[in-house]
Copies of this chain bind each other. A is one copy, B any other.
């Protein structure tokens, strides 16, 4: 079988690279037949140039043009959903149902359509009009964007179909999708649909492009290329920091989603009231998708006591009774095992699991560890090592002060949860804990595990470093996620007919919210 082509400047063409790779079926550990290229720099340079050319063509287009593309793309994805689900299942071992077919795929097309609606309404631009001073501003396109997708969401976060892709296109930018090397065939199928959609909606060549793999060095070179506008990256911390350093140095916006261990704090009253229920919720949340969620609850904070001992025992039982899922690949298994070892060597005790086995293909037994808050506080950095997968660490504090001290040492996370007693028995402790946790996380939850991430305008799938690269932004939630791939554009004394339509006196778009002289309105100037 020949090496799969790359999508550059509107054409599927043979890669200029000589190195190739195959994906592996994680459930069987067998290499999959399709062969994919590693793109050399010359090819990336070609993609960047084409992307910059496309950016010049589309930059003044109305949002409806990008909406047309996004909707057509969503339709075409649905047309080939069987092939996509089959490829993704083979490449990731994620279940066909209820995950890939009826969960992640509809979420992905839903995101693309929400992004289309936002692009069309242009409210995301936050058009701001100051009639007295003759100054008007809006968010405009940033320029070509490269999106690096992670391994754990082959659809919803894919570099060529996921949330960052949708947001970057909605903002009016061409995108170079960098597929994750663990699911290249899935990415290729998306790119086919994307290119068909681009042709059907008359987007310029180079508006969507696809490469499968590069060296870290070339990835860093790409994000700092003078013609690039910015980048989105979801994935491991190490590679992410290489990308971040290069982009930062070049002054290019870089939106990262890196590791997060998502602390869950279970207060004593809640434990007493509904400990068994919480153990069940926690087990489901932690083992769902074999724990391979960015919002997986990887750290549980509790106060010591009999009820806590009982909770741990119950939870260990549930972890041992639950089926062991397949991990996304050999690298994930290795990373998880190393993470568990790192936690142990930093002082955590293994309660259950900890080694490979009990499932199909790449897998690690459902794992729980425990450490005292006192020990945690002696080595808080290492005891926050992310063990990405079906594992979690309990931290048991002897006092509220110790619990608070643990929270003070936490790094930035996407989420933080607090379970408290429903009638208010925990309220005084809640009031001490919540403000500390609030500053450490992007999303604070009550009485609910963090793994569900609704695509809502009020969602924050973001948080302080190292969970992400910037605490103002969210990667999930439209329209907020779109703003990331934009720049603020002010027009000062610009002649009225030269203004972008969204900044002209008359509001020509239904439902477009604009801030006119301090008031949000869907009306026109002077109305």
The reply to whether A253 and B472 form a contact with Cβ atoms under 8 Å apart is: yes
Which one of B139, B415, B462, B518 contacts A472 once the chains associate, using CB atoms below 8 Å?
B139
The reply to whether A135 and B251 form a contact with Cβ atoms under 8 Å apart is: no
Interface size of A by Cβ–Cβ distance < 8 Å?
Answer: 72
The reply to whether A492 and B129 form a contact with Cβ atoms under 8 Å apart is: no
Which one of B253, B447, B457 contacts A493 once the chains associate, using CB atoms below 8 Å?
B447
Specify how many copies of this chain sit in the oligomer: 2
The reply to whether B253 and A244 form a contact with Cβ atoms under 8 Å apart is: no
The reply to whether A471 and B444 form a contact with Cβ atoms under 8 Å apart is: no
Q: How far is the CB of A474 from chain B (nearest CB, A)?
A: 6
Q: Which of A457, A486, A488, A493 has the most CB of B within 10 A?
A: A488
Residues in chain B near residue A458, CB distance under 8 A = 128-130, 133, 135-137, 490
Q: How far is the CB of A166 from chain B (nearest CB, A)?
A: 18
Q: How far is the CB of A64 from chain B (nearest CB, A)?
A: 19
Q: How far is the CB of A510 from chain B (nearest CB, A)?
A: 13
Q: How far is the CB of A70 from chain B (nearest CB, A)?
A: 19
The reply to whether A135 and B490 form a contact with Cβ atoms under 8 Å apart is: no
Q: A residues 425-484 with Cβ under 8 Å of B?
A: 430, 434-435, 438-439, 442-448, 454, 456-460, 462-466, 469-474, 480, 483-484
A residues sitting closer than 8 Å to B (CB atoms) are 56, 59-60, 128-130, 133, 135-137, 139-140, 142-143, 244-245, 248-253, 412, 415, 430, 434-435, 438-439, 442-448, 454, 456-460, 462-466, 469-474, 480, 483-484, 486-495, 498, 513, 515, 518, 520-521
Sample 9 A-B pairs with CB under 8 A, ordered by A number: A59-B438, A130-B457, A137-B459, A140-B438, A245-B249, A253-B470, A443-B491, A464-B487, A513-B520
5 extra interface residue pairs, beta carbon distance < 8 Å, beyond A128-B458, A133-B456, A457-B515: A56-B435, A252-B465, A253-B470, A444-B489, A446-B492
Name the 10 nearest CB pairs between A and B, nearest first. A251-B465, A460-B490, A520-B520, A471-B487, A130-B458, A443-B490, A248-B248, A135-B458, A128-B458, A130-B456
